[in-house]
Amino acid sequence: MHEYPVTEQIIKIASEKAKENNAIKVCHIALVVGEHSGFIGESIQMYFDIISRGTICEGAILEIENIKAKWKCPLCDITYMRQPYSFACPKCGQDGLPTNIGKEFYIKSIEVEVP
């Protein structure tokens, strides 16, 4: 449910960007969503279709790039994607630590149509 306000925010940012550029519509929004960002891309997509109705963002393509989280092994100093039900390093078996990879949440680009 907490995707609702964040989706409103995305639409607000894109709409402001469109106004700044005297655009007639927003065509494309690229969003980066990490696995550990706390947000679910599919939910944002769903809310986007609902909230954007009647706004300058209506009909825009929302492209969501999902980033898989990565762990880091404290012994080998390597980063890796974990296997299901395991945090173990693929090289030595030690449990890894979470990294910042996978916590991303940002708008990568906004494309608008200018008459």
97: its two tokens = 């630590």
Question: How far does CA 34 lie from the centroid of its chain?
Answer: 6
| Cβ neighbours for 60, distance < 8 A, ≥ 6 positions apart | 14, 25, 26, 27, 28, 29, 52
Question: How far does CA 94 lie from the centroid of its chain?
Answer: 30
Query: In angstroms, what is the minimal distance from the CB of 85 to Zn ion?
Result: 18
Subset of residues 26 to 85 that bind Zn ion, contact rule: CB under 5 A: 73, 75-76
Using the contact rule CB under 5 A, the part of the chain among 6-14, 24-32, 38-46, 92-100 near Zn ion is 92-100
Is residue 92 a contact point for Zn ion (CB under 5 A)? yes
Query: In angstroms, what is the minimal distance from the CB of 82 to Zn ion?
Result: 12
**Number of other CB atoms surrounding residue 33 within 10 Å:** 24
- Distance, CA of 110 to CA of 10 (rounded, Å): 10
Return the residue of 14, 33, 89, 112 that touches Zn ion, per CB under 5 A: 89
Using the contact rule CB under 5 A, the part of the chain among 20-28, 41-49, 56-64, 90-98 near Zn ion is 90-98
Interacting residue ranges for Zn ion, rule: CB under 5 A: 73, 75-76, 89, 91-92, 94
